[in-house]
Amino acid sequence: MTSQRRPEHADEQPIAGLAELRQVTPPAALVAKVMTSVTAPRPWTFRQGFARLLRAELRLSVRTAVVLAAFAGLGAWAVRRPQQPPVVAATAPAPLVQDSPAPVLVRFTFEDRRAHQVFVAGDFNDWNPIPLDHEDGARESMFVATVALPRGVHEYMFLVDGNWVRDPLVSDSRPDGFGRQNSLLRL
Amino acid sequence: MALNPEQSGAYSVLTRTGDEVSRAEEERRLIARCAQGEAEAFRPLVVRYQRVAFSVSYRMLGSRADAEDVTQQAMVDAFNAIDRFRNEGKANAFSVWLLRIVINRSKDVLKSKRWSEKPLGSEGEVAVSDAAFAHRPVDPELNVVENQQRQRLEAALLALPAKYREALILKDVEDLSYEEMRSILRLPITTLKIRVVRARGRLRDLLGEPEETR
CATH code of the domain in which B3 resides: 1.10.1740.10
Residue A7 in any domain: the answer is no
Q: Which of B68, B79, B154 sits opposite A27 (nearest CB)?
A: B68
Q: Both B111 and B122 in a single domain?
A: no
Is the ipTM above a cut-off of 0.90? no
Q: Both B80 and B173 in a single domain?
A: no
Q: Which of B8, B68, B214 sits opposite A23 (nearest CB)?
A: B8
Backbone angles phi, psi at A118, to 5 degrees: -130, 135
**Taking 90 as the threshold, does the pLDDT of residue B167 lie above it?**
yes
Summarize pLDDT for A127-150 with one digit per residue, the tens. Answer: 888 888 887 667 778 888 888 888
Summarize pLDDT for B79-123 with one digit per residue, the tens. Answer: 999 888 887 777 788 999 999 999 999 998 888 876 444 444 333
Residue A2 in any domain: the answer is no
pTM of the predicted model, to two decimals?
Answer: 0.55
**Taking 80 as the threshold, does the pLDDT of residue B212 lie above it?**
no
Contacts of A26 (CB under 8 A, 6+ apart): B7, B50, B51, B53, B54, B55, B68, B71
Report CB contact under 8 Å: A162, B72. Answer: yes
Element (H or E) spanning A108, and its range? strand A104-111
Q: Both B133 and B108 in a single domain?
A: no
Confidence of residue B209 (pLDDT cuts 50, 70, 90): low
Q: How far is B194 from chain A (nearest CA, A)?
A: 10
Q: How many domains does chain A have?
A: 1
Residue A26 in any domain: the answer is no
Q: Which of B8, B125, B198 sits opposite A1 (nearest CB)?
A: B125
Q: Please tell me the distance from the alpha carbon of residue B172 to that of residue B169, in angstroms, as a whole number.
A: 6
Report CB contact under 8 Å: A19, B64. Answer: no
Nearest residue in chain A measured CA to CA from B199: A11
Cβ-Cβ contacts under 8 Å, B9 against chain A: 19, 22-24
Q: Both B152 and B94 in a single domain?
A: no
pLDDT, mean over chain B: 78
Nearest residue in chain A measured CA to CA from B126: A1
Q: Both B108 and B10 in a single domain?
A: yes
CATH code of the domain in which B162 resides: 1.10.10.10
Q: Please tell me the distance from the alpha carbon of residue B48 to that of residue A96, in angstroms, as a whole number.
A: 47
Q: Both B121 and B197 in a single domain?
A: yes
Nearest residue in chain B measured CA to CA from A34: B72
Q: Both B96 and B135 in a single domain?
A: no
Summarize pLDDT for B14-72 with one digit per residue, the tens. Answer: 444 556 667 788 888 899 999 888 889 999 999 999 999 999 999 999 999 999 999 99
Contacts of A93 (CB under 8 A, 6+ apart): A172, A185, A186, A187
Q: Both B77 and B136 in a single domain?
A: no
Q: Both B96 and B127 in a single domain?
A: no
* Full residue range of the structural domain in which residue A82 is found: 39-186
Length of chain B: 214
Q: Chain A contact for B150, CB < 8 A? A: yes
pLDDT given at position B5? 41
Q: Which of B111, B129, B18, B9 is nearest to B60 (CA)?
A: B111
Q: Both B139 and B207 in a single domain?
A: yes
Q: Both B63 and B4 in a single domain?
A: yes
Last residue within a domain, chosen from B52, B85, B115: B115
Q: Comparing B155 with B213, which gets the higher pLDDT?
A: B155
Q: Both B79 and B11 in a single domain?
A: yes
Q: How many domains does chain B have?
A: 2
Last residue within a domain, chosen from B71, B100, B115: B115
Residues of A within an 8 Å Cβ radius of B:
1-2, 4-7, 10-15, 17-27, 30-31, 33-35, 37-39, 161-163
CATH code of the domain in which A87 resides: 2.60.40.10
Summarize pLDDT for A61-104 with one digit per residue, the tens. Answer: 677 778 888 888 888 887 776 554 445 566 544 444 444 567 88
Nearest residue in chain A measured CA to CA from B146: A17
* Full residue range of the structural domain in which residue B174 is found: 117-214
